[in-house]
Amino acid sequence: MAAELKYMSGFDNEFATEDPRCPGALPEGQNNPQKCAYGLYAEQLSGSAFTAMRHENKRTWLYRIRPSVIHKPFKKIDNGLLTHDWDTVEPNPNQLRWNPFDFPKKKQDFVEGLATICGAGDPKARSGIAIYIYTCNKPMENKCLYNSDGDFLIVPQEGTLFITTEMGKMNVAPNEICVIQRGIRFSIDVKGNSRGYVLEVFSDHFVLPSLGPIGANGLANPRDFLSPVAWYEDREVREYTVISKYHGHLFSATQGHSPFDVAAWHGNYAPYKYDLSKFMVINCVAFDHADPSIFTVLTCPSLKPGVATADFVIFPPRWSVQENTFRPPYYHRNCMSEFMGLIYGNYEAKEDGFKPGGGSLHSMMTPHGPDYDCFEKASNAELGPQKIAEGTMAFMFESSFSMAVTEWANNTKVDSNYFQCWQPLKKHFNPKDSAKDDKEKKK
Ligand SMILES: O=C(O)Cc1cc(O)ccc1O
Ligand SMILES: [Fe+2]
């Protein structure tokens, strides 16, 4: 495995790339020559309807040794802990928190290690999302996966993912994320125990949020997104397994060769990765707490303008400078669902109990906010410029869907004492101590 891989930079670009072993593999001036160079086959992978608006139209032309269609029929296989059945446990509006999910006790690869935590909707209707934890410790050997149901946003928490895709190779380490869109075949190699989170969206692709009055620059900048360069192998294998995730079930087919046989490709439908430390953080510099949407890296929009199917939001290291302000997250109830995970460090609203590799779910309208310790500390702290969240990276998958928890997640690593973190919150109300008196005391 090459340590340093080459990438092409830019979000939503039209890329054109050839494996250096096949110069001229991309046809000039057309997509479908009668005969392609080097005896390659041309194949189009469409990520949007043919007739989608130009700015949303997504497709890539692959020039490959064999077309993808050469495989034996798909047969249904065991799903493991992957499910889109949202009715296996009674609905539960409580605040939920999970301790770090265990690494596998037996050998398992990325596909075998995908466990659904929560979600809503249905890939058949192309509406909804699913959130997973993955834990794995062995490569997908002579095995690839493609997802017919949606796009995967993968957030490694432990262990680098060495990913081979039809478009080339990407290494994705903790504090980086990647997106592998619907239909793209990929295989993941890992070295030792690996764990992370996956957000799947059934409807549409992720885009960068509009910046509005922020201007032309900031948050996740387009040039920091990296897509692989073309790479192929001409490898015949007695049994190569292609797994298809289709309608929330796994199917397996075999073929006699590696699917990573694309010598050249061009188009704007390609996987990409992004280093979260590149995020240009914008925040309040006077008073009050800005909503966390200011930290949106990527968003999958719904049909309603401004409302996301799912946002990927991070809480990166930053300066906190607001005056006369309770600086941690405010207490709130939200008409969006909030799933949170932690890559490393700790999260300011819950210094204890919320751990890397664990998670929390604050469902639609479920009250939440800082725990007792955080409230007491932050309301009495001397306020000055302070670097916060250093050495930490928490994130949130925020969704307009009202998510259900799976039976597995309901019975695994649940911190049943989570609610206790708010119980000591004291009544500070004192009608005699008016706001006016308070201001005077400060003088
Ligand atoms: O609940 C959370 O911790 C996430 C969050 C952070 C914040 O700064 C404001 C609102 C919010 O939901
Ligand atoms: Fe919240």
**DSSP string for residues in 4-20:** S--EEE-TT--EEEE-T
Instruction: Kindly give the number of the ligand 1 atom that is closest to the alpha carbon of 369.
Output: 1
Residue 48 placed within a domain: no
pLDDT score of 415:
97
pLDDT score of 2:
46
**What CATH number did the domain enclosing 272 receive?**
2.60.120.10
Residue 56 placed within a domain: no
Report whether 421 contacts 104 (CB < 8 A): no
Tokens of 354: 């919320």
Q: Are residues 272 and 297 in the same domain?
A: no
Q: Are residues 286 and 216 in the same domain?
A: no
Under DSSP, is residue 72 helix (H, G, I), strand (E, B) or coil?
A: coil
Residue 323 placed within a domain: yes
Q: Are residues 296 and 272 in the same domain?
A: no
Report whether 300 contacts 152 (CB < 8 A): no
Q: Are residues 355 and 411 in the same domain?
A: yes
Q: What phi and psi values does residue 154 have, to the nearest 5 degrees? A: -110, 130
Q: 248, 276, 304 — which closes off a domain?
A: 276
Q: Are residues 305 and 202 in the same domain?
A: no
Q: Are residues 214 and 92 in the same domain?
A: yes
The finding on whether 349 has its CB within 6 A of some atom of ligand 1 is: yes
Q: Are residues 84 and 224 in the same domain?
A: yes
Q: Are residues 285 and 372 in the same domain?
A: yes
Residue 8 placed within a domain: no
Cα 382 from chain centroid (whole Å): 36
How far is the centre of ligand 1, averaged over its atoms, from the C-alpha of 200 (Å)? Answer: 21
Cα 69 from chain centroid (whole Å): 29
b/e map 218-227, b = 16+ CB within 10 Å = ebbbeebbbb
> What tens-digit pLDDT sequence spans the chain (443 residues)?
445 999 999 999 999 999 999 999 999 999 999 999 999 999 999 999 999 999 999 999 999 999 999 999 999 999 999 999 999 999 999 999 999 999 999 999 999 999 999 999 999 999 999 999 999 999 999 999 999 999 999 999 999 999 999 999 999 999 999 999 999 999 999 999 999 999 999 999 999 999 999 999 999 999 999 999 999 999 999 999 999 999 999 999 999 999 999 999 999 999 999 999 999 999 999 999 999 999 999 999 999 999 999 999 999 999 999 999 999 999 999 999 999 999 999 998 888 889 999 999 999 999 999 999 999 999 999 999 999 999 999 999 999 999 999 999 999 999 999 999 999 999 999 998 876 655 555 54
Say which ligand is closest to the CA of 364.
2
- In angstroms, the CA 258 to CA 269 distance is 21
pLDDT score of 437:
56
Domain count, the chain: 2
Q: Are residues 243 and 288 in the same domain?
A: no
- In angstroms, the CA 86 to CA 83 distance is 8
pLDDT score of 365:
97
Other beta carbons less than 10 A from residue 386's beta carbon: 14
Under DSSP, is residue 84 helix (H, G, I), strand (E, B) or coil?
A: coil
Under DSSP, is residue 122 helix (H, G, I), strand (E, B) or coil?
A: strand
133 exposure class (CB count in 10 Å sphere: 0-12, 13-18, 19+): buried
How far is the centre of ligand 1, averaged over its atoms, from the C-alpha of 304 (Å)? Answer: 22
Q: Are residues 307 and 348 in the same domain?
A: yes
Which residue is catalytic, options 43, 289, 351, 407? Answer: 289
How big is the CA angle at 430 (ends 425 and 435), to the nearest 5 degrees?
110
pLDDT score of 7:
98
Query: Which pTM does this prediction carry?
Result: 0.97
Q: Are residues 272 and 300 in the same domain?
A: no
Residue 335 placed within a domain: yes
pLDDT score of 1:
46
Residue 296 placed within a domain: yes
List the domain range (segments joined by +) for residue 104.
71-261+268-276
Report whether 289 contacts 296 (CB < 8 A): no
433 exposure class (CB count in 10 Å sphere: 0-12, 13-18, 19+): exposed
Residue 412 placed within a domain: yes
Residue 301 placed within a domain: yes
Q: Are residues 201 and 287 in the same domain?
A: no
